[in-house]
Amino acid sequence: MKKKAKTKKKQDMPEFEFKQFTPEEDRIYTEAVEKYREAITAGKSLKQAYGGYTITDKKLEALIQADFLKILIAERHFAGRLPLEQIAKDLDVPSDLVRDTHARMLQEVGATAASQFGQEFGGIEPKTND
């Protein structure tokens, strides 16, 4: 008896929802990123930078901290050409965290590009039916 071939399920693009900030949240975001950046520039670890500036809204704090790591990866890896492992070492964080964040960044870019393409060209109909 033959085994049935497994069909590979097409993986959908993950959905991302980007938060719209209130003016107050935007102010907190900007201030936090500046404080985190100052701490990193002073040679502190990422954990120390995060610990040096507390945000009372824990959901907002988590979002800002995740974004800040993405900012550092963008600046150091994409612009500065540093390997992800070096970034992890410099920030004193697990390399898995940096690799996973990097992968999520690429997914977000892909999802955003696909969404934007759909919005701009979604109404394009093929001229043939083949």
According to the model, what pLDDT value does residue 7 have?
45
Cα 90 to Cα 16, 35, 76, 77: the distances in Å are: 29, 18, 10, 12
Of residues 79 and 114, more confidence is placed in 79
Mean pLDDT throughout 106-117? 84
According to the model, what pLDDT value does residue 8 have?
44
Mean pLDDT throughout 77-89? 97
pTM metric for this prediction? 0.76
Closest CA to 93 of 107, 64, 73: 73
